[in-house]
């Protein structure tokens, strides 16, 4: 088997959010993979600790907004011994250049990873235009 590389520890990236928060606390930007096929755009986002009912996906005017609220999962009476990461909300926004078929958007959240499928509207899929000789 090929030698697999080791994952490097990465700090969660804190982001300034455009709107002021009603709840205080840090806001982090989740790591994402985005890829495209002819038919759809797929977005994978690491959202550890976010439950499906705490995740908000909003698409309007070609702006896709992901907001993940996190209910702290740590016992309140516990004493910190070593803290290497903080718990906070997740926020990330993307501008989409393609027209998305809003009715067919599919979102799945498994083990803290969101898989969001954004199908392109039929019109946006490439068409072949035959050129006739005049």
Q: Which residues bind other proteins (CB under 8 A)?
A: 4-11, 13-14, 16, 24, 31-38, 42, 44, 46-51, 73-75, 77-85, 111-113
Neighbours of 109 (CB within 10 A): 19
User: Tokens standing for 93?
Assistant: 């926004």
Pairwise CA distance, residues 102 & 84, whole Å:
39
| Shortest Å, Cβ 132 to other proteins | 30
User: Tokens standing for 103?
Assistant: 């009715």
Nearer Cβ to other proteins, position 46 or 101? 46
User: Tokens standing for 54?
Assistant: 């705490």
Nearer Cβ to other proteins, position 97 or 130? 97
| Shortest Å, Cβ 39 to other proteins | 10
| Shortest Å, Cβ 27 to other proteins | 12
Q: Where are the beta strands (DSSP E) in 15-62?
A: 27-29, 32-36, 40-46, 55-60
Nearer Cβ to other proteins, position 3 or 61? 3
């Amino acid at each position: 088997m090929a030698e697999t590389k080791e994952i490097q520890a990465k700090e969660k990236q804190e982001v300034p959010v455009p709107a002021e928060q009603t709840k205080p606390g840090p806001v982090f930007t989740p790591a994402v993979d985005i890829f495209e096929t002819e038919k759809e755009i797929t977005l994978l986002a690491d959202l550890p600790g976010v439950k499906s009912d705490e995740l908000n996906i909003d698409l309007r005017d070609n702006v896709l907004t992901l907001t993940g609220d996190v209910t702290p999962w740590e016992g309140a009476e516990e004493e910190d011994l070593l803290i290497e990461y903080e718990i906070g909300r997740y926020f990330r926004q993307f501008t989409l250049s393609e027209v998305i078929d809003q009715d067919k958007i599919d979102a799945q959240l498994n083990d803290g990873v969101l898989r969001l499928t954004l199908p392109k509207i039929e019109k946006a899929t490439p068409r072949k235009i035959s050129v006739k000789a005049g």
